[in-house]
Amino acid sequence: MSHILLVTSSPREADSLSTRFATDIAEGIQARSGGSLSVRDLAANPPPHITSAYIQGRVASPEDRTPEQVEAVEIAQQFIDELKAADVIVIGSGMINFGLPSPLKAWFDHVTWPRVTFGYGDTGPKGLLTGKKVYLVTATGGVFSEGAWAPFDFQTNYLLHLLGFIGLTDVQVVRVEGTVLGPDAVNAAVANAEAAISALLAKAA
């Protein structure tokens, strides 16, 4: 049985399509695998932005950490432990000002930890969180997968880079896009996402 980690980040609550479809994927895989599911809602419980307590605390020996450093490191360690425990990771991200939501960026700032989730070797950086499957759901008001706005998608490619940097290279992307272009565009975006998810769940079964 697999363990699934669902990470959502949209502030749109029930109106969020990235959360809706990421949840559909996670629950669909759980139903087919009989595995367990953990949920990390970064919008409801946003991580703090990293501070000097985290930067200094993660390189200090545990016995030398100040109380503030202990707390900062424990937050990061909890997020990393959740990642390590997961066989499948599902992430939902709705574009905010051409990029990812700030709580999701703060989460990545915590889990991108030298010598814990990535290291450096003779050939450059090496991700340490390997052997996991990732599903990334990105939602955008405009169409960013192609056309004139594609160069301004600072969400999807950046997320793929961050994931790959820590070793998560087996990533399947589901795009929900064009949702501000009118009712027909919304219906098409939803239908396309539903079809894509049905196809990937069939393969995951």
State the angle between helix axes of 183-204 and 17-33 in degrees (0 to 180), rounded to the nearest 10.
20
**Dihedrals phi, psi of 174, to nearest 5 degrees:** -115, 120
SS3 142: coil
> Which residues make up each annotated binding site for FMN?
10, 16-18
> Which residues make up each annotated binding site?
10, 16-18
176: Cβ contacts below 8 Å, ≥ 6 apart: 17, 18, 21, 137, 138, 139, 140, 189, 190, 192, 193
Contact 111, 73 (CB under 8 A): no
Contact 106, 49 (CB under 8 A): yes
